[in-house]
Amino acid sequence: MSKSWKIISVGLTNTVQLAVVALICAAFLGLVLAIIRGLKIKVLNFLIIIYVDLFRALPTIVLFMIVYYMLPFFGLSFPLFWAAVVALTINGAAYYEEIFRAGIEAIDTGQWEASRSLGLNFRQTMTHVILPQAIRIVIPPATSNSLELVKTTVLASVISMPDLLYKAQQAAGLWYNPTPLVLAALIFLAMLWPFVRLTSYLERRMV
Amino acid sequence: MDIRGLIDSFFNVRIMLEYLPALGRGLVVTVEIAALSLALGLTLGLILAVVRVSIKRKGTARVFRLLNVPLVFYIDSMRALPPLVTLVVVYFALPYLGVYISRFWSAVSVFVLVLGAFGSEIFRAGIESVDAGQMEAARSQGLSYLQTMRFVVVPQAFRVALPPLTSRMISITKDVSLASVIGVADLLKEAKVGIANTYNTSPLIAAAILFTLLFLPLVRLSAFVERRMKE
């Protein structure tokens, strides 16, 4: 177990880094898309809807593999870490966009009209009036989506990025023993269990 | 960037057509696993929800109340663990304990366990949202506890549970492609075989198109259900 810990800890670091970077990128892209949809420009909305529906329909593992096989066309030195970030961002942003959009749309139109009639432009209304109110509505679903995104990082092991699961499988193969796999599962449980409780708590409080 | 090379290795129609029959076989396996997991998982979720609500009632013996602890532990671990990790542990670690389950059934049982956990939380929220007066009225009419659950509470809970349930069902069905990692001959696995045989990525793109055709109507349906329920 202590021997496998050395291998697994490398994977754990990679998983945490991947999760943090992908979360930030996906949430940011999702927010930008949601704001663009608020502009209500027909062509842009249509494109965003296609993007969102497509990537909510496509299994994430398939997306990972497509990105992986596309890598050679971007030069062989493209690191696997960033390939995983790209796949997670494309997929995660589709879900975040829907959540943020629902939050923005839940704000009463009177708020829009009032701010605009007071002379605030679109950007000012968005940042100073709409988004601060939308955040409260958005927090519970966004937390649960973030949890799902962190869980999805294990798919990086499928394209041989050395994350926690990949390293655990490597260690299990090396010693022909399943302990590293169980250890990896326990690590995931310890890391994510507080967030499961947090999601339940936030969802209950909303009702 | 080599655009023609990219098109040739991703959108090679000849190779796509050549592998279409194999992909079709894979699609059937994917649908089989999905259908079994959904049917068994939803049943498990509903039973667990009713059990958890029932043992919380006043006057339940303490022994039964203790049942809540393992149930919560199971539900929380399934919600915390990535399904791929559970799948790998079930398929690669259980044989060391002398338990042998085929690839197909390892996949089905993991998805059933995951959907059972999420489903029970969703159903429980639905059951708890039904007004207590409904239970009291039905009981005073002479229906037994289980009859009340079956005919009065659960049908009403279903309405509340439907939107989150559909989106969770879609996400489980999408997870079925994870089964390819342990070697189940599903759609994605057939695509991988195609890539290995042809050194060409087109079978994967063909599989992605099939997946999208399969799931896009479901995604639209769940959006529709959510909108309808809000009104």
Residue in the block written with tokens 């997929």: A91
Interchain CB contacts (distance < 8 Å): A and B: 119
Q: Where are the beta strands (DSSP E) in B1-109?
A: none
CA-based nearest residue in chain A for residue B200: A69
Q: What is the pLDDT of residue A203?
A: 80
CA distance linking residue B44 with residue B48, whole number of Å: 6
**What angle, 0 to 180 degrees and rounded to 10, lies between the N-to-C axes of helices A2-38 and A179-206?**
30
User: pLDDT class for B109, splitting at 50, 70, 90?
Assistant: very high
Residues of chain A with Cβ-Cβ distance to B76 below 8 Å are: 193, 196-197
User: pLDDT class for B21, splitting at 50, 70, 90?
Assistant: confident
Residues of chain B with Cβ-Cβ distance to A184 below 8 Å are: 85
State how far residue A123 is from chain B, nearest Cα, in angstroms.
28
CA distance linking residue A89 with residue A79, whole number of Å: 16
Give me the torsion for CA of B169, B174, B179, B185, rounded to 10°.
110
Put simply, whether A106 touches B (Cβ < 8 Å) is no
Would you give per-residue pLDDT tens digits along chain A (207 residues)? Answer: 667 788 888 889 999 999 999 999 999 999 999 999 988 889 999 999 999 989 988 999 999 998 888 877 777 677 889 889 999 999 999 999 999 998 998 888 899 889 989 999 888 999 899 999 998 889 988 999 999 999 999 999 988 888 899 888 888 888 888 888 889 999 999 999 999 999 888 887 765
A100: Cβ contacts below 8 Å, ≥ 6 apart: A30, A31, A33, A34, A35, A134, A138, A142
Residues of chain B with Cβ-Cβ distance to A65 below 8 Å are: 188, 192, 204
In terms of phi and psi (left: phi > 0; alpha: psi -120 to 50; beta: otherwise), the region of A108 is beta
Burial label for A14, CB within 10 Å (0-12, 13-18, 19+), is buried
A50: Cβ contacts below 8 Å, ≥ 6 apart: none
Q: What is the pLDDT of residue A93?
A: 95
CA distance linking residue B8 with residue B15, whole number of Å: 10
**Angle at Cα B119 formed by Cα B73 and Cα A157, nearest 5°?**
70
A190: Cβ contacts below 8 Å, ≥ 6 apart: none
Residue in the block written with tokens 């879609």: B170
CA-based nearest residue in chain B for residue A75: B1
Nearest alpha-carbon partner for B103 in B184, B38, B188, B187? B184
Do B82 and A165 lie within an 8 Å CB cutoff?
yes
User: Does CATH place domain B3-230 in 3.30.460.10?
Assistant: no
- Of the partner residues A70, A73, A192, the one whose CB lies closest to the CB of residue B80: A192
In chain B, the percentage of residues whose pLDDT exceeds 70 is: 99
State how far residue A89 is from chain B, nearest Cα, in angstroms.
17
Homologous superfamily of domain range A2-206: MetI-like (1.10.3720.10)
- Of the partner residues A53, A73, A188, the one whose CB lies closest to the CB of residue B6: A73
User: pLDDT class for B4, splitting at 50, 70, 90?
Assistant: confident
How much is the mean pLDDT over chain B? 88
State how far residue A189 is from chain B, nearest Cα, in angstroms.
6
Q: What is the pLDDT of residue A76?
A: 65
Please measure the distance between the N-terminal and C-terminal CA atoms of chain A and give it in whole angstroms: 44
Over residues B160-206, the pLDDT tens digits come to 888 888 888 888 988 999 999 888 888 888 888 888 888 888 889 99
The domain locations on chain A are: 2-206
CA-based nearest residue in chain B for residue A199: B79
Nearest alpha-carbon partner for B215 in B184, B175, B161? B175
pTM for this prediction: 0.88
Residues of chain B with Cβ-Cβ distance to A155 below 8 Å are: 84
Q: What is the pLDDT of residue A206?
A: 67
Put simply, whether A151 touches B (Cβ < 8 Å) is yes
Do B6 and A70 lie within an 8 Å CB cutoff?
yes
A47: Cβ contacts below 8 Å, ≥ 6 apart: none
Q: What is the pLDDT of residue B29?
A: 92
Q: Residue range B5-25: average pLDDT? A: 83
**Token output for A157:** 């092991």
User: Which of B9, B73, B74, B88 is the mutation pick for testing A, counting most A CBs within 10 A?
Assistant: B88
User: pLDDT class for B1, splitting at 50, 70, 90?
Assistant: low
CA distance linking residue B35 with residue A202, whole number of Å: 32
Residues of chain A with Cβ-Cβ distance to B88 below 8 Å are: 165, 169, 181
The domain locations on chain B are: 3-230
User: Residue B34 corresponds to which amino acid?
Assistant: A
Burial label for B155, CB within 10 Å (0-12, 13-18, 19+), is exposed
